Amino acid sequence: MIFRRKLCTISRFSRICEKDLKVFEGILGKDAVLTEDIEMFTQDWTKQFKGRGSAVLSPKSTEEVSAILAHCSKQKLAVVPQAGNTGLVGGSTPVHDEIILSINHINKQFSFDSTMGILQCDAGFILQELDEKLHTFGYMMPFDLGAKGSCRIGGNIATCAGGLRLVRYGSLHAHLLGLTVVLPDEKGTILELGSAIRKDNTSFHTPHLFLGSEGMLGVITNVTMTAVPKPLSVQSAMLGLQTFTDCQKILRLAKSRLSEILSSFEFLDAQIFECLEENLQLKRVLPTETPFTILVETSGSNSEHDQEKVGRFLEECMENGWVTDGILAESAADAAKMWQVRESAPLATSRDGYVYKHDVSLPLEHFYELTEVVRRKFGGKTKRIVTWGHLGDGNSHLNITSEKFDEELYKNLYPFLYEWVVSHGGSISAEHGIGRLKLPYSNYGKSPAERKLCQNLKHLFDPHGILNPYKFLATTTE
């Protein structure tokens, strides 16, 4: 299924015309204004979200973004900010014929204070590229994503990306210090928010308004944030368990025994291993099959110390009878095999056909209960129901597959699944955002007063509502 609404005239916005294109060419040059062969910008990588798109603009500086947004605001032209276009909820693609503003060429400024660990860079840098640059200083980015080879730091900030390292380094809220943001008003106002120092309590913490705002409030062009020291010692272990209760016990033990060096605590059920083997021919790492598998990683500075801590932790897990099988990686190659399994899970499910992807947070007592409820209710109507995720922070990636999109299954799944999550104290979006996919359910778990506050902020920063319309907040009527 492609989420594509019927094209119609939206009275709130103007349609781009030749005069507008001439203005954009005057700002950017002809080569940076595309109107043909732009399909890679108008459809997301999952092929689920597609719009027509009227033009793709590729500015190279904050000032060019300012000039573009000033013109678009005056002419009431709708704009979609886009970075790596690697999102999973349709937040960075047009719905109708909006202008696409790509930040990918804003990638020149880079500086790093290796004493304080403070990074300042343009928003168009690829995450992996930043990681590699920081490695030369003995540092790394504090988060890691499967899309690190193509996602951009500006998009990461705009979506408040989570990833694999959150249990150790926290969310991006713990690292963001400052932003350069361009507002979609008639002046194309450029805001310099926050600062390049770790302690600055002289204002509201305004950069965080744009963290996770999904391109609704302004266009991020430059980022100031903290990086973290690259660990000198990394230990990885894969454990097989019989019950989800044992998974919870091991997590509590890991937080106690591994504490300051625990960096990842990932979860996979038996069904995702079946999918990996059938669709990607990836074999199990553990010699025996178990209902649940945990991937534990530690990051520290002393191999001998870390190996001793991990060894004692594993011994205690075995003595308590919580683990029936386990392997401690003896080399980087061993660890890579473990992580290949975990990181290949999204690709494996996509080979089934159509995937109903979920990214929810739940209290741990209900984490796998959701999967069991969905299996009982929909198991006979699907091809496969699997779960993996970041158990260390309660983030479940429940994936339901079918050979092709099934309208009846879709109507039965929603809003049932999201209502269940919220009624059990969870969030319908842990790290992927709302975008277009979850717009009908964006009020779930949020008070009317909070949603009204978000709408007021939207109007304050974007008085004409031109930036990324039809998403995140229901601000227009079609």
The pLDDT score that the predictor gives to residue 163 is: 87
The pLDDT score that the predictor gives to residue 122 is: 98
Asked if the bond preceding 415 is cis, omega within 30° of 0, the reply is yes
CATH of 110-229, one of 3.30.465.10, 3.30.200.20, 3.90.550.10, 3.40.47.10: 3.30.465.10
pLDDT in tens, 175-190: 999 999 999 999 999 9
* Average pLDDT rounded to a whole number, residues 447-468: 95
Q: Does residue 28 have a pLDDT over 80?
A: yes
Average pLDDT, the chain: 94
Q: Does residue 9 have a pLDDT over 90?
A: no
Q: Does residue 296 have a pLDDT over 70?
A: yes
Buried b (16+ CB within 10 A) or exposed e, 35-71: eeebeebbbbebebbbbebbbbbbbbbbebbbbbbbb
- Go through the chain and tell me how many residues it has: 478
DSSP 8-state class, residue 475: -
The pLDDT score that the predictor gives to residue 474 is: 58
The pLDDT score that the predictor gives to residue 1 is: 53
Query: Would you state the structure tokens that stand for residue 90, as one six-digit string?
Result: 């349709």
CATH of 233-345, one of 3.30.1330.10, 3.30.70.2190, 3.30.70.20, 3.40.50.150: 3.30.70.2190
**Residue 115's pLDDT band (boundaries 50, 70, 90)?**
very high
pLDDT in tens, 378-399: 999 999 999 999 999 999 999 9
Of 94, 108, 111, residue with least CA distance to 44 = 94
The pLDDT score that the predictor gives to residue 11 is: 62
Locate CATH 3.30.465.10 in the chain: 110-229
Contact status, residue 395 vs residue 50, Cβ threshold 8 Å: no
* Average pLDDT rounded to a whole number, residues 20-42: 97
Cα–Cα distance measured from residue 227 to residue 232, given in angstroms and rounded to the nearest whole number: 15
250 CB-side CA count, 13 A: 35
The pLDDT score that the predictor gives to residue 8 is: 39
Contact status, residue 426 vs residue 362, Cβ threshold 8 Å: yes
Q: Which residues contact 136 (CB under 8 A, 6 or more apart)?
A: none
Locate CATH 3.30.70.2190 in the chain: 233-345
pLDDT in tens, 193-211: 999 999 999 999 999 999 9
SS3 25: helix
pLDDT in tens, 274-295: 999 999 999 999 999 999 999 9
* Average pLDDT rounded to a whole number, residues 325-344: 95
The pLDDT score that the predictor gives to residue 48 is: 87
Cα–chain center distance at 16? 31
CATH code assigned to 352-433: 3.30.70.2740
Query: Would you state the structure tokens that stand for residue 353, as one six-digit string?
Result: 């056909």
The pLDDT score that the predictor gives to residue 146 is: 86
The pLDDT score that the predictor gives to residue 135 is: 97
pLDDT in tens, 202-256: 999 999 999 999 999 999 999 999 999 999 999 999 999 999 999 999 999 999 9
Q: What angle do CA 391, 397, 399 make, to 5 degrees?
A: 145
**Residue 473's pLDDT band (boundaries 50, 70, 90)?**
confident
Longest dimension (CA), the chain: 74
Q: What is the CATH architecture of 18-105?
A: 2-Layer Sandwich (3.30)
* Average pLDDT rounded to a whole number, residues 341-347: 95
Cα–Cα distance measured from residue 313 to residue 308, given in angstroms and rounded to the nearest whole number: 9
pLDDT in tens, 152-173: 999 999 999 998 899 999 999 9
DSSP 8-state class, residue 219: E
Q: Does residue 477 have a pLDDT over 80?
A: no
**Residue 47's pLDDT band (boundaries 50, 70, 90)?**
confident
Q: Does residue 412 have a pLDDT over 80?
A: yes
* Average pLDDT rounded to a whole number, residues 91-104: 96
Contact status, residue 432 vs residue 159, Cβ threshold 8 Å: yes
The radius of gyration of the chain from alpha carbons, rounded to an integer in Å, stands at: 23
Q: Does residue 63 have a pLDDT over 70?
A: yes
The pLDDT score that the predictor gives to residue 125 is: 98
* Average pLDDT rounded to a whole number, residues 455-460: 96
The pLDDT score that the predictor gives to residue 436 is: 94
SS3 81: strand
- Between 345 and 474, whose confidence is greater? 345
The pLDDT score that the predictor gives to residue 5 is: 39
Cα–Cα distance measured from residue 173 to residue 215, given in angstroms and rounded to the nearest whole number: 17
Locate CATH 3.30.70.2740 in the chain: 352-433
